[in-house]
C-alpha cells in the first residue's frame, strides 16, 4: 500500500498564499518548496520535467485543483508540495482558475504508488465541503491535519 498523502506532506512544503497568478510563476513558487528536499536529487532536472509535462497537457483536475507532476529519475521517493491561492492561478491551457496546486514528483521506477496517490487525492477533493476545508485551513499544520481527517473519513483509519 502506498503511503498516504498526509504522511508525505510537510509544513515547509505547503504555501498557503501563493503570490504568482500566472501558471508558470505559481508552479515555480510551489516546486521551489521542494528544492532542499533530500529526496530531490536534481531540482533543475525535476523542475524542467515538471514544466515539460505541464506543456504536454493540462494537469487541472477541475474544481480549482491542479496536479502538476513528473515521473522522473531526479527524485528518490515521492515528494509533494502544495500551493494555495486565494485569488486563483489562471491555467490558460484549460482556461481554469486553480486555487490548489499539488506538485508531485515520483520516481520513474514506481508508477503504482503514484497512481494510488493520485486516486486517493481525487477522492479527497471530489466533494465541495472537503475542498472547502482544504481552502480554509489556517496553517500548513492545519492543512495536513485536514488531509489526514479526510483520509480517515474516506479511506478508513490508518492500520
Q: Whole-prediction pTM value?
A: 0.92
The residues annotated with a catalytic role in the active site are 69
Q: Which domain holds residue 15?
A: 5-155
CATH code for the domain of 107? 3.40.930.10
Q: What are the tens digits of pLDDT across the range 33-90?
A: 999 999 999 999 999 999 998 888 878 888 999 999 999 999 999 999 999 999 999 9
Q: How many domains does the chain have?
A: 1
Q: Which long-range contacts (CB under 8 A, 24 or more apart) does 68-71 make?
A: 68/27, 68/30, 68/31, 68/101, 68/102, 68/103, 68/104, 69/103, 69/104, 69/105, 69/106, 69/114, 69/118, 70/46, 70/104, 70/105, 70/106, 71/106, 71/107, 71/108, 71/111, 71/114
Amino acid at each position: 500500500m502506498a503511503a498516504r498523502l498526509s504522511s508525505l506532506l510537510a509544513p515547509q512544503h505547503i504555501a498557503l498564499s501563493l503570490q504568482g497568478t500566472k501558471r508558470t510563476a505559481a508552479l515555480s513558487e510551489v516546486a521551489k518548496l521542494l528544492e532542499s528536499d533530500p529526496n530531490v536529487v536534481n531540482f533543475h532536472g525535476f523542475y524542467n520535467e515538471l514544466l515539460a509535462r505541464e506543456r504536454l497537457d493540462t494537469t487541472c483536475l477541475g474544481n480549482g485543483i491542479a496536479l502538476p507532476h513528473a515521473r522522473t529519475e531526479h527524485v528518490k521517493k515521492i515528494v509533494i508540495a502544495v500551493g494555495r491561492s486565494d485569488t486563483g492561478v489562471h491555467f490558460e491551457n484549460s482556461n481554469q482558475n486553480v486555487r490548489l496546486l499539488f506538485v508531485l514528483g515520483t520516481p520513474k521506477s514506481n508508477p503504482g504508488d503514484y497512481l494510488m496517490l493520485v486516486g486517493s487525492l481525487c477522492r479527497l477533493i471530489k466533494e465541495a465541503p472537503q475542498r472547502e476545508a482544504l481552502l480554509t485551513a489556517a496553517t500548513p499544520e492545519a492543512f495536513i491535519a485536514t488531509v489526514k481527517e479526510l483520509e480517515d473519513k474516506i479511506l478508513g483509519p490508518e492500520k
